């Protein structure tokens, strides 16, 4: 039986704008398409993990507004159990997402709102939930002190701990030492290690630096090149899974992290779990949106069956 997954993070309403290019400062341009939908790294990861079959509990703060209603509806539909505090004196977060039409690449500005006030006290209030989890996941969109406290509680209770270090930030060594798994992309890996990541070999070098800082294992996500997994015994490159034309890469990292957490909670070994995460991400990038792009478990299983390990 799969274990429980506790995720600490942020929900924001995504306002997504598609255009040929980003405007320059002081310039107004016409876009091609606009969409409003649920987002936030932690929330996206919770939805991805739940749709992939995980028992997911999401810890966060919301305002009391229309965007909060969107969050609660999104989680209910995905099967995520909400462990949230609603603050009538703040607002639910929002994000501006620019998507380049030709490539699907993105640039993002996040205003976390009430979730920006997530505190160590909030995390302590969910101690029982975190301690009962098989896997604990967090990111860096909420205050770092809260993330570090969550990792500390989870580590002491024997949960597998995952830090998705996004957005990029300087992370204290004490926090990295609490992480069984750290899952940066190329730029985030460089921020942690000082190693510029332009290739699989660079990713391996960056992973070595993370291991030297006390991380249990590093998983550097490399976009269309897949993922580089490295711990103290094993170094494996896991290729990306191509499932169709790339429409939008915005939620790919969250899809990977949610899938990886769900697979770990089922008892899969880390490399197999990373491959599962690649399958979740590979499907998500063929669809628009972040949380709405996350695939079902049946879709992930079908893709893995069609791409057996050779």
Which candidate in 122, 180, 202, 254 is catalytic? Answer: 254
Name the token pair of 121: 């006290």
pLDDT at res. 290: 81
DSSP string of 83-136? EEEE-TTS-EEEEEEEEETTT--EEEEEEEEGGGG--HHHHHHTHHHHHT-SEE
The structure's pTM equals: 0.92
Dump pLDDT digits (tens) for 74-85. Answer: 999 999 999 999
Dump pLDDT digits (tens) for 194-206. Answer: 999 999 999 999 9
Given a cut of 80, is residue 242 above it in pLDDT? no
**Could you give the angle at the alpha carbon of 35 between the alpha carbons of 31 and 40, nearest 5°?**
120
Biggest CA–CA distance in the chain, Å, is 56
Neighbours of 187 (CB within 10 A): 12
Dump pLDDT digits (tens) for 133-188. Answer: 999 999 999 999 999 999 999 999 999 999 999 988 889 999 999 999 999 999 99
Q: Is 301 a catalytic residue?
A: no
pLDDT at res. 310: 60
pLDDT tier for residue 87 given thresholds of 50, 70 and 90: very high
pLDDT at res. 307: 86
């Amino acid at each position: 039986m799969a274990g429980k997954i506790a995720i600490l993070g942020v929900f924001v309403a995504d306002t997504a704008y598609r255009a040929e290019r980003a405007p320059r400062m002081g310039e107004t341009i016409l876009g091609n398409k606009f969409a409003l939908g649920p987002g936030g790294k932690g929330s996206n990861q919770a939805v991805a993990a739940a749709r992939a079959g995980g028992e997911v509990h999401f810890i966060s703060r919301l305002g009391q507004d229309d965007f909060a209603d969107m969050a609660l509806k999104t989680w209910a539909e995905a099967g995520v159990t909400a462990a949230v505090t609603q603050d009538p004196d703040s607002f639910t977060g929002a994000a501006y997402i620019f998507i380049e039409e030709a490539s699907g690449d993105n640039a993002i500005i996040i205003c976390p709102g009430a979730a920006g006030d997530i505190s160590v006290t909030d995390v302590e209030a969910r101690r029982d939930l975190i301690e009962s989890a098989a896997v604990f996941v967090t990111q860096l969109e909420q205050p770092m002190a809260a993330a570090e406290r969550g990792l500390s509680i989870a580590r002491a209770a024997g949960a597998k701990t995952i830090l998705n270090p996004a957005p990029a930030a300087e992370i204290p060594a004490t926090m990295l030492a609490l992480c069984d798994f750290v899952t940066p992309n190329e730029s985030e890996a460089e921020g942690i290690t000082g190693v510029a990541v332009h290739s699989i070999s660079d990713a391996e070098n960056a992973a070595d630096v993370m291991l030297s800082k006390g991380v249990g294992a590093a998983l550097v996500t490399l976009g269309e090149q897949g993922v580089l997994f490295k711990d103290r015994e094993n170094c494996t490159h896991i290729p990306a899974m191509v499932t169709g034309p790339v429409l939008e890469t915005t939620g790919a990292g969250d899809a990977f992290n949610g899938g990886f957490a769900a697979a770990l909670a089922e008892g899969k070994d880390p490399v197999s779990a990373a491959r599962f995460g690649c399958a979740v991400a590979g499907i998500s990038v063929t669809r628009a949106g972040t949380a709405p792009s996350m695939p079902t478990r049946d879709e992930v299983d079908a893709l893995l069956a069609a791409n057996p390990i050779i």
